[in-house]
């Protein structure tokens, strides 16, 4: 009998990759999308176009407990993946209440639905955590035992969900797990996130469609992986005999500036850095400023460094990242060049 998975956040980067992954594993995949006046299914439209009979989309809202209850009751899934979130850290400072409603209470709504419907012995639950929970890091690299010190409403909300998942696991013997995922990117990353902002920005400059790219803290260091690798880890977490929590990371760290250099090299763009701190700028071969920093893109409280230790995941899940940061950047750039070229032809 085919397993059934329910994915909250299926229209996002991780949700779309996870849907593809589970369909290849012969799952029936149910996804939840919010009712919106604009189409927001572009990341999963290709699955529909393939006429996949095991793929279903449902309207729902993670902040609406009745909506969540109804979906869990109708579908009665074997596995639930909560990937839905207001996931932009900077935006969480602007709309903290909404961020908390989705990222904190949304997780609680799912856990309570599983319990109240008597599915606590049937359903396996995965909660998408984040390295932002570590925030002002108290040790490096960060492991499953590193204390949290979140530095944004996003990080704080995710800490609530993390501990609520553990509380329901210990209180009601539910198979409920946390994946503490470090930064993971892909061509499906939203254009407001820094890696995608860099790849599409430099691609536009390369093609003469844009003169300059404005960024925030280029000295921030992150542990970057590929979303394709990370959704496999999410699935593996729910295939274990006992529920547990895992750090999912590459164990390697790069600054935003270093990522820029990787992208520029891939685009055959020779750039030179001059200046220090907020005044550091990147110049092209013709001595034009193509990258500069602006404090308005800094967070109210910055997270300077995040570096994960995936030893536990490697040992227990037998998981390891396959795609390097250079390969990731190359894939993102090629995708952005293809999109820009296609848009140019449509004009």
Residue 162, C-beta contacts closer than 8 angstroms, at least 6 positions apart = 127, 129, 133, 148, 178, 180, 245
pLDDT over 90 percentage in the chain: 92
Question: What is residue 219's predicted lDDT score, i.e. its pLDDT?
Answer: 96
| Half-sphere exposure for 343 (CA within 13 Å, toward CB) | 10
Catalytic residue among 17, 81, 154, 254: 154
- Quick one: average pLDDT of 43-56? 87
Q: Which of the residues 132, 185, 232, 331 is marked catalytic?
A: 132
**Distances in whole angstroms, Cα of residue 52 to Cα of each of 3, 26, 71, 125:** 15, 11, 21, 24
pLDDT (tens digit per residue) in 177-224: 999 999 999 999 999 999 999 999 999 999 999 999 999 999 999 999
pTM, whole model, 2 decimals? Answer: 0.95
What is the chain's alpha carbon radius of gyration, rounded to the nearest angstrom? Answer: 20
Per the annotation, the verdict on 185 as an active-site residue is no
Find the farthest-apart pair of alpha carbons in the chain and give their distance in angstroms, rounded.
67
- The residue behind tokens 């295939």 is 239
Q: Is 230 a catalytic residue?
A: no
Is 132 noted as a catalytic residue in this protein? yes
């Amino acid at each position: 009998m085919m397993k059934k998975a329910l994915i909250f956040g299926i229209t996002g980067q991780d949700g779309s990759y996870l849907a593809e992954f589970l369909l290849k594993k012969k799952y029936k995949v149910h996804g939840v999308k919010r009712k919106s006046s604009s189409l927001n299914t572009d990341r999963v439209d290709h699955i529909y176009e393939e006429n996949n009979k095991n793929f279903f989309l449902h309207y729902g809202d993670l902040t609406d407990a009745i909506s969540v209850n109804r979906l869990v009751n109708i579908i009665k899934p074997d596995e639930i993946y909560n990937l839905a979130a207001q996931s932009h850290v900077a935006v969480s400072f602007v709309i903290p209440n909404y961020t908390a409603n989705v990222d904190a209470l949304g997780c609680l709504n799912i856990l309570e639905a599983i319990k109240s419907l008597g599915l606590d012995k049937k359903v396996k639950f995965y909660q998408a955590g984040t390295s932002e929970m570590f925030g002002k890091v108290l040790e490096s690299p960060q492991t499953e035992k590193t204390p949290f010190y979140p530095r944004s409403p996003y990080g704080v909300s995710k800490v609530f969900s993390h501990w609520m998942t553990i509380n329901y696991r210990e209180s009601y013997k539910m198979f409920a797990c946390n994946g503490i995922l470090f930064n993971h990117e892909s061509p499906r990353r939203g254009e407001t996130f820094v890696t995608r902002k860099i790849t599409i920005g430099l691609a536009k400059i390369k093609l003469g469609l844009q003169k300059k790219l404005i960024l925030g803290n280029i000295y921030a260091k992150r542990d970057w992986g590929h979303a394709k690798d990370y959704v496999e880890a999410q699935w593996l977490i729910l295939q274990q005999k006992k529920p547990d929590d895992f750090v999912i990371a590459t164990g390697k760290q790069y600054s935003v500036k270093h990522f820029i250099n990787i992208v520029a090299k891939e685009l055959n763009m020779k750039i030179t850095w001059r200046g220090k701190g907020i005044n550091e700028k990147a110049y092209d071969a013709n001595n034009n400023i193509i990258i500069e920093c602006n404090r308005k893109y800094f967070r109210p409280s910055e997270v300077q460094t995040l570096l994960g230790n995936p030893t536990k995941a490697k040992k227990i899940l037998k998981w390891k990242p396959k795609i390097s940061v250079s390969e990731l950047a190359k894939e993102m750039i090629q995708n952005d060049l293809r999109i820009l070229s296609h848009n140019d032809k449509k004009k």
